[in-house]
């Protein structure tokens, strides 16, 4: 299970803080350029606010939450929430398993008091559903894919995340999905893991395609997407 953070960190620091901060003990969830231009993206181990940390947040999902953390950029405070939901159904012959992976970005209004709590509003929501009938099956987030970074230097963070899934009965590649969200724009990479069997057997899989085409993705975003692919594509079979 991917667990990004707990929800008990201290509040987000002032946006004028001169250095970018990564969550303690969670360095893998964020990669920041050393020469990132101001205003900085500040990423924290969850923002301790009533809207995220308690019952005064009816608009935030609570079941199946895999991870939640907060960050601040030039647009303000945000909460990123990853959720995994599972259910089963039946066909005429086999059980069918369903897994839904969803990613939610919320804008957080810090102007709140102890009674009302912080106000949140949905910035975007991306959901992908997977199902498998009668075979080995799983689908989950890829911790090594997750990045929150100002890739294009405009002070606003882009969010990159991904997941892998498998439905099969033998040695087969996993399906990998990477998604980079930049404002209203969404860029996807769909691929198969590169499988390295034991011994001298040749590797197979490792193909991918992007939407839109690679040449149509802005250069810094394309680089981030392809770097993530290199981090997560390998699959070793013992």
Handedness of CA 149, 152, 158, 164 (dihedral sign): negative
Residue 172 has pLDDT above 70, yes or no: yes
Region of residue 199 (phi > 0: left; psi between -120 and 50: alpha; otherwise: beta): left
Least confident of 58-72, 137-151, 175-189, 200-214: 58-72
The 3-state secondary structure of 131-152 reads EEECCEEEEEECHHHCEEECCC
Average pLDDT over residues 153-181: 92
Q: Which two tokens stand for residue 51?
A: 């809207």
How much is the pLDDT for 49? 30
Place of tokens 């199902």: 131
Least confident of 107-116, 134-143, 207-216: 107-116
Least confident of 117-131, 136-150, 212-226: 117-131
The pTM of the full predicted model, rounded to 2 decimals, is: 0.74
For 48-77, the pLDDT digits (tens) are: 333 333 333 435 556 677 887 778 888 888
How much is the pLDDT for 17? 26
Place of tokens 């912080």: 118
- CA–CA separation, 93 and 62 (whole Å): 34
Looking at beta carbons, which pairs linking 156-161 to residues 24 or more positions away fall under 8 Å? 156/73, 156/74, 156/75, 156/183, 157/41, 157/71, 157/73, 157/78, 158/182, 158/221, 158/224, 159/80, 159/103, 159/105, 160/224, 160/225, 160/228, 161/82, 161/103
Average pLDDT over residues 25-42: 35
| 51 burial type by CB count under 10 A (0-12 exposed, 13-18 middle, 19+ buried) | buried
Which one has a higher pLDDT value, 197 or 111?
A: 197
Q: Which two tokens stand for residue 119?
A: 């106000």
Cα-trace Rg, the chain: 19
Least confident of 38-42, 78-82, 130-134, 233-237: 38-42
Looking at beta carbons, which pairs linking 21-24 to residues 24 or more positions away fall under 8 Å? 23/69
Average pLDDT over residues 73-85: 88
How much is the pLDDT for 65? 79
Residue 229 has pLDDT above 80, yes or no: yes
């Amino acid at each position: 299970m991917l667990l990004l953070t707990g929800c008990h960190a201290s509040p987000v620091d002032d946006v004028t803080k001169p250095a970018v901060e990564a969550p303690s003990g969670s360095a893998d969830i964020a990669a920041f350029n050393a020469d990132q231009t101001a205003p900085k993206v500040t990423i924290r181990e969850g923002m301790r606010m009533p809207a995220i940390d308690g019952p005064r947040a009816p608009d935030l999902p609570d079941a199946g939450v895999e991870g939640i953390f907060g960050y601040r950029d030039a647009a303000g405070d945000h909460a990123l929430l990853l959720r995994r939901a599972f259910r089963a159904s039946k066909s005429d012959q086999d059980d069918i398993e369903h897994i839904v992976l969803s990613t939610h970005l919320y804008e957080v209004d810090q102007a709140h008091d102890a009674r009302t709590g912080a106000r949140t509003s949905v910035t975007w929501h991306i959901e992908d559903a997977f199902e498998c009938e009668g075979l080995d099956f799983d689908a989950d987030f890829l911790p090594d894919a997750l990045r929150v970074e100002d890739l294009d230097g405009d002070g606003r963070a882009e969010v990159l995340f991904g997941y892998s899934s498998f439905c099969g009965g033998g040695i087969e590649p996993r399906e990998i999905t990477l998604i980079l969200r930049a404002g209203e724009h969404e860029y996807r990479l769909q691929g198969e893991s590169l499988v390295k069997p034991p011994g001298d057997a040749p590797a197979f899989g490792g193909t991918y395609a992007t939407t839109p085409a690679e040449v149509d993705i802005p250069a810094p975003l394309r680089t981030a997407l392809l770097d993530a692919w290199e981090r997560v594509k390998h699959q070793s079979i013992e």
